[in-house]
Structure 1
């Protein structure tokens, strides 16, 4: 037989989680110096453009908790008892005044007892326990006090009992007493390990209507009961000593039967033994002047507060091994509504998708890191953005041409509109055969089957990208654009010009060659020094390793050289720049020119002294200078590289980028 329930997953037609946005944000944070683990957590905390994050959910949990504390205080039961007691005494006084047949001595004695009642409601109720009421209305009001206390005490442990037992008969009270006795016997057998499934089934068949949680086992029953009982204990500790003392005195008179309190005390002892980990000793301070609640309602409020505290911990994700699957969606839906649970479920799906997408992996040290696949995806996104800036038009289509009509690279790719490369006939036919194996009635050849052969330019280049990693780059906000530029160029060469050799060189106080993964994960360095001399030494070594390739030297810097490498291997630093530092940098730049390098300087910042120095260096080697904004650095570097490959000596300006791409059809629209 089929069973159905309400769908709780949000909009069933909603699109899947957007990994692209998440990966872009994570990649940018990693380049800014975050670890991939922290970058992922930060994105989940912020959320996406159309996705609430953990911070928003945590804020709503805190607001809900604050609202509960401000709206409720725990004097509700005492206030209700006090009102009923005043009603009983007032009705009795009226009856005494009206009853002309009453003995004057009896009347005086009764009035004296009413006049001398203690101020404490608990003491007054105890004092009137044996009072023989002459007024029917007064007697009914006083009996309501005992009935209220009994229902409140039961409502602490059994949700809804207060309303269910309103106007209860003696038979109803006897049924409750029997249920408590049977419950305690079941829990005691369970503690000894002597209970059976049949014992639980028999108990639920007889008393299940008292348990709206509908537990499916003794363990679930204990969980539900222990949470409310612990909340009841916390509620008592949240009251003033005077309130607590009065309620304890009044509780002894509940239903007019001490047996009820004995069974409840026995129940608390059993639950504490079975669930010692519950918070049995805590307390919560409620706001003053709020809406009064009774014992049962107060227990419910405290249970809500306990749920909210647990949700706050789960959403904070600050404990070891935290993951979003820890968030209790049922509690979140109860406290904040179904929409909040849907938001949290989407974040859970996003976290799982990020970890299963192959974009993040754990290294031997247990730390998350970006995989090569993620680096390629991030590089492609950056390269696409660079192409749009270079073409000068938004929304253009990437035709993914690997080169003009040059040498075949041996690779192929699916055909796209505008491709001019020759078809790869074997791959195209094989695709058609494979497709028709699953669809025999389909056409023999479809446009989706077509693959074209990739080609590469015949000219090879040895490219040295020297990027300044001194403290000023990080201080002035150029750290992330520098990394993005390196990744975009690395992606372009790795995917379109695989015959070219790229060397990434970072230079601060000293220089070093880096893999792209090392450069993108590089933390900001605060040591002073711009060692262009050492960077040029490494660049020239790279050029000499590739004697048949066209050398392309790209230098990104925001400062004059202030350090150089001495013959001993030590680093010399001086500011203002020492003449020897300038001379050594110029010498290595001349060496690069003799090797045939086409040089482009990318000057960042508006320092006039730097501008004069860079201009003179570029004139010396017949190179070019560009002064892009940080956001345009990637387009400037990539454009210069592409221009150098065509033998143009570097791009002359932004206008040439669109011309180059238009003529090559690289990202033409």
Structure 2
């Protein structure tokens, strides 16, 4: 029933399609996770795959789903065995013989004694005994009924092992039912033979076959190929079940199958069917086996279903592994996942697939010139916003530095405005805010104007003085080894985001230095992997910083140097890097000379010292004295302590009068 609500809305039962109450994919949270992995040295592709493997707080990842698949597979093998049909036949035979002997015992006649002797002479094997009793004249109705149950059970189990649901459909078999099944098998074998020989009238034969026998195929195949797929998958599962039995069990079942429904015709028809299906689908798994070591017996039909479940679980494990060429999450069979693990698992897989699709569709990844996958500028902006927010949160949490949260917001208006974002402290642009509210109300049909958060715009302000900023970050192996690689990248990302959004006229240059120094773009630094090499060439980094400052003579010069080691390399005139540890006097001399040149340009060098090495401490203090700069030793406990120190110092340098 659908119930109307005010304003034209209505609600009713939900039958199919996307869950309307499912939470949307959190792209920002996902990008934070991917960004952290990329900045930690993983490739964007590997970071995306790792996110899908790990999952999110609300969604189980591929690893968890795979674990549950293997757990389910293990439970099937650990809980069951394949002796169910044989055990049931042995039970029915024992009860039949016992009831027959009870009926013969009171009879003093010779016929009764002769019948007892015939029962005593039965072979010890169950299959041979059942075969010998095929012509026996039963005195006991109970015994005769149990023997007939054996024949019916064998027939139903054989059919169930090839046709899912057949056992229940034939629970009360009559001679007419048996004849109908045999006719279906005859027609089916003829149809498959015609298909194998490429007869032109196969489509017509298939249509006629389904018209006559469609009740036996709840899968409702639409073509003969679909019919073969369904039958071959079940027949292969039945064969794997037989492969999993002992040779003695297989031999006994082969003999018993001749007694199915009291006639060997059924077993012969099924044997012909199996042979044709194996020839038509040789690529199916016909030869493997699975060890079933539990104590709960399964009949032939249940055993075939267990083997089908194991095969389906193996396929799901392969799909969830995503390790084959061209793998995508859309490959995961959600119906199979629901059957094996429940609806929650299918919902998780669907959410992961939607998350992957949206990450790609939103343009958060792009192809680099070398063909590799990398974060797009849009992704870097999103990541930068998150990192900068975290940095400001760290700044606000430090005593005596609360004013830095709004640093850069004060100043002269730029004349532009932007939508308000959470955490903004800039003044409202009132006229544009009111205009937005009026336009929104008019587009909705008019009425009383009310302000909404989405209407608010804030006035952008900035200091008119430009700054030329050189951020020099140490990329030597010790930064990776000591766990400073990720904080270094987050620092660069936060500073880049701050300058590109709030101080757009400033010129930022990112410089990395190990054995050599180099200027890099943000995406290069974010995706950079740690490389083992010896050398901390601060001399080369400061040389490149000086070149950047000279290209902007009208800007205030700012040099920020992040390092965890004293200089151990310098640049020779021919461009080679001279490394030595302990540092050579020439290395220290050339580095301090470059500091002096920066000081002549009016630049102060702020050094962010990571670590407590006495030689490093002495050297950075020397740099600070010669340049009139400062030494900051941020806490080394959190990812954003270094970023807070660098961003805070940059904001301090941007204040008027500094």
TM-score w.r.t. length of structure 1:
0.89
The equivalent of 2:551 in structure 1 is 545
Helix, strand or coil at the partner of 1:551: strand
Task: Give the Cα–Cα distance (whole angstroms) in 2 for the partners of residues 134 and 397 of structure 1.
Answer: 104
The equivalent of 2:185 in structure 1 is 180
Q: 2:468 aligns with which of 462, 470, 489?
A: 462
Question: After alignment, is 534-543 or 139-148 more displaced?
Answer: 139-148
Are residues 116 and 397 of structure 1, via their aligned partners in 2, closer, same or farther at CA, if it must alter by over 3 Å? farther
Q: Deviations over 1:468-517 (max 9, x none)?
A: 10111000100000000001101111111111111111111111111111
Q: 1:628 aligns with which of 604, 629, 634?
A: 634
The equivalent of 2:82 in structure 1 is 74
Helix, strand or coil at the partner of 1:467: strand
Q: 1:123 aligns with which of 118, 125, 128?
A: 128
Are residues 572 and 53 of structure 1, via their aligned partners in 2, closer, same or farther at CA, if it must alter by over 3 Å? same
Q: Deviations over 1:100-152 (max 9, x none)?
A: 1234xx72x54444334333212222233333333333332222222211111
Q: 1:132 aligns with which of 124, 132, 137?
A: 137
The equivalent of 1:31 in structure 2 is 39
Report if the CA contact (8 A) 2:562-2:609 is conserved.
Answer: yes
Structure 2 residue 514 is the aligned partner of structure 1 residue 505: no
Task: Give the Cα–Cα distance (whole angstroms) in 2 for the partners of residues 211 and 397 of structure 1.
Answer: 75
Are residues 609 and 51 of structure 1, via their aligned partners in 2, closer, same or farther at CA, if it must alter by over 3 Å? same
Q: 2:260 aligns with which of 254, 274, 296?
A: 254
Report if the CA contact (8 A) 2:441-2:447 is conserved.
Answer: yes
Offset at residue 399 of structure 1 (A): 10
The equivalent of 2:237 in structure 1 is 231
The equivalent of 2:372 in structure 1 is 367
Task: Give the Cα–Cα distance (whole angstroms) in 2 for the partners of residues 47 and 398 of structure 1.
Answer: 36
Structure 2 residue 215 is the aligned partner of structure 1 residue 206: no
Offset at residue 432 of structure 1 (A): 7.8
TM-score w.r.t. length of structure 2:
0.90
Report if the CA contact (8 A) 1:384-1:398 is conserved.
Answer: no
Helix, strand or coil at the partner of 2:410: coil
Q: 1:570 aligns with which of 576, 581, 594?
A: 576
Helix, strand or coil at the partner of 2:42: coil
The equivalent of 1:666 in structure 2 is none
- Equivalent runs, 1:213-612 vs 2, <5 Å: 213-287=219-293, 289-392=294-397, 403-406=409-412, 408=414, 411-414=416-419, 419-420=426-427, 438-439=443-444, 441=446, 454-612=460-618
Offset at residue 421 of structure 1 (A): 6.9
Helix, strand or coil at the partner of 2:134: coil
The equivalent of 1:55 in structure 2 is 63
Q: Deviations over 1:553-609 (max 9, x none)?
A: 101011111111112221111111222211111111111111111221111122233
Are residues 41 and 252 of structure 1, via their aligned partners in 2, closer, same or farther at CA, if it must alter by over 3 Å? same
Helix, strand or coil at the partner of 1:539: helix
Q: 2:648 aligns with which of 629, 639, 654?
A: 639
Task: Give the Cα–Cα distance (whole angstroms) in 1 for the partners of residues 254 and 403 of structure 2.
Answer: 77
Task: Give the Cα–Cα distance (whole angstroms) in 2 for the partners of residues 6 and 440 of structure 1.
Answer: 31
Aligned residues: 639
Offset at residue 350 of structure 1 (A): 0.8
Are residues 552 and 265 of structure 1, via their aligned partners in 2, closer, same or farther at CA, if it must alter by over 3 Å? same
Structure 2 residue 103 is the aligned partner of structure 1 residue 98: no
Question: After alignment, is 511-520 or 433-442 more displaced?
Answer: 433-442
Q: Deviations over 1:174-231 (max 9, x none)?
A: 1111222232333334442535666545433432332233334433332222211110
The equivalent of 2:9 in structure 1 is none
Task: Give the Cα–Cα distance (whole angstroms) in 2 for the partners of residues 450 and 124 of structure 1.
Answer: 90
Helix, strand or coil at the partner of 2:518: strand
The equivalent of 1:663 in structure 2 is none
Helix, strand or coil at the partner of 1:528: coil
Helix, strand or coil at the partner of 1:600: strand
Question: After alignment, is 71-80 or 444-453 more displaced?
Answer: 444-453
Q: CA RMSD in A?
A: 2.9
Task: Give the Cα–Cα distance (whole angstroms) in 2 for the partners of residues 474 and 576 of structure 1.
Answer: 21
Task: Give the Cα–Cα distance (whole angstroms) in 2 for the partners of residues 96 and 624 of structure 1.
Answer: 111
The equivalent of 1:64 in structure 2 is 72
Offset at residue 616 of structure 1 (A): 2.6
Are residues 465 and 12 of structure 1, via their aligned partners in 2, closer, same or farther at CA, if it must alter by over 3 Å? same
Task: Give the Cα–Cα distance (whole angstroms) in 1 for the partners of residues 178 and 584 of structure 2.
Answer: 98
Helix, strand or coil at the partner of 1:593: helix
The equivalent of 2:8 in structure 1 is none
Task: Give the Cα–Cα distance (whole angstroms) in 2 for the partners of residues 462 and 71 of structure 1.
Answer: 71
Offset at residue 526 of structure 1 (A): 1.2
Offset at residue 15 of structure 1 (A): 2.2
The equivalent of 1:661 in structure 2 is none
Are residues 149 and 586 of structure 1, via their aligned partners in 2, closer, same or farther at CA, if it must alter by over 3 Å? same
Offset at residue 541 of structure 1 (A): 1.1
Report if the CA contact (8 A) 2:427-2:459 is conserved.
Answer: no
Structure 2 residue 175 is the aligned partner of structure 1 residue 163: no
Report if the CA contact (8 A) 1:402-1:454 is conserved.
Answer: no
The equivalent of 1:44 in structure 2 is 52
Q: Deviations over 1:370-417 (max 9, x none)?
A: 1000000000111111112212289x9999997534363x64323678
Report if the CA contact (8 A) 1:533-1:588 is conserved.
Answer: yes
Are residues 440 and 83 of structure 1, via their aligned partners in 2, closer, same or farther at CA, if it must alter by over 3 Å? closer
Report if the CA contact (8 A) 2:406-2:425 is conserved.
Answer: no
Offset at residue 361 of structure 1 (A): 2.4
Helix, strand or coil at the partner of 2:285: coil
Are residues 383 and 69 of structure 1, via their aligned partners in 2, closer, same or farther at CA, if it must alter by over 3 Å? same
Offset at residue 341 of structure 1 (A): 0.9
Report if the CA contact (8 A) 1:428-1:451 is conserved.
Answer: no
The equivalent of 1:655 in structure 2 is none
Task: Give the Cα–Cα distance (whole angstroms) in 2 for the partners of residues 13 and 562 of structure 1.
Answer: 60
- Gaps of at least 5 residues in structure 1 are 650-669
- Gaps of at least 5 residues in structure 2 are 3-11
Q: Deviations over 1:586-639 (max 9, x none)?
A: 111111111111221111122233222222321222211111124200010001
